[in-house]
Amino acid sequence: MLTAHCNRDGFGAMTLSEQVYQDLRRDIVSGVLEPRLPLRLDRLKTRYGVGFSPLREALSRLQSERLVDAVALRGFTVAPMSIDKMWDAINTRLLIETDALRRAIDKGDDRWEATLVAAMHALSLQYRRLPDGPLKEPQTEALRQRHQEFHAALISACGSDWLLDFAEKLTLATERYRHTTMHRLIPEQRRDLDAEHRALMEAAVARDADRACGLLTEHYTLTGRHMAAQFGTGQAG
């Protein structure tokens, strides 16, 4: 059974609905719960050890993030995946994040720079730990977390809660596709993602908004093309 958990600061506790929301979201993004899978409340209750009320609350939140669909008279299902949906999320993410990045570069102070440099260092360390063979779940999860933290740090000083909220939702939408294809990578297929992220960080710290936004656009577009190819379509955005 799940119990309340302390939050990161050690104050208060994470509610059951928050905990099951986090667990469901992780399992959807990682593909443990597959696209179009019916999310039967009785099965979820057994799987996650919580009652119907926190489950419904968590599923409603995931529906607002487009990770779950509500089907009339049939309950909830895991949202489907498609190349068109992937490109829609990537292109919308670029609209949001390039605007947020320009604002962050304009508003960001020394603390923002230090946070971004630290996030880049942590991500770089994780890249160095990648195995020579195909990636396994522990490597993909650790890389996913640090990659997400880097991109969040990049726009964190934008000064808009709305932009940050939209960016987080779109990150989750695209992360499903990254996670699905990441474990298939072999060393000779890998781009130098460490160099791509470092160039992006350096442009941001140098306050070169045009170059930073250009690099971010290229970075996401190349990732999208790789994911499309992994799905066997070779479709460009």
For the segment 180-224, what is each residue's pLDDT rounded down to a tens digit?
Answer: 665 555 444 567 889 999 999 999 999 999 999 999 999 999 999
Give the residue from 129, 123, 95, 91 showing the smallest Cα distance to 198. Answer: 123
Q: Give residue 230's pLDDT.
A: 77
Domain residues of the chain, as ranges?
A: 16-78, 83-230
Q: Give residue 38's pLDDT.
A: 94
The kind and range of the H/E element at 83 are helix 83-107
Q: Give residue 84's pLDDT.
A: 93
For the segment 86-102, what is each residue's pLDDT rounded down to a tens digit?
Answer: 999 999 999 999 999 99
Mean per-residue pLDDT, 62-83: 90
Strand partners, 77: 38, 69
Tokens representing 191 are 């781009």
More confident residue, 235 or 184: 184
Residues 6+ apart with CB under 8 A from 216: 94, 97, 98, 101, 154, 200
Q: Give residue 197's pLDDT.
A: 96
83-230 sits in which CATH class? mainly alpha
Strands, DSSP E only, in the chain? 38-39, 68-71, 75-78
More confident residue, 138 or 65: 65
Does residue 58 carry a pLDDT above 90? yes
For the segment 151-185, what is each residue's pLDDT rounded down to a tens digit?
Answer: 999 999 999 999 999 999 999 889 888 776 655 55
Mean per-residue pLDDT, 65-75: 87
More confident residue, 199 or 32: 199
Q: Give residue 192's pLDDT.
A: 87
As a CATH number, domain 16-78 is 1.10.10.10
The per-residue pLDDT of the chain, averaged, comes to 85
Work out the pLDDT band at 235, boundaries 50, 70, 90.
Answer: very low
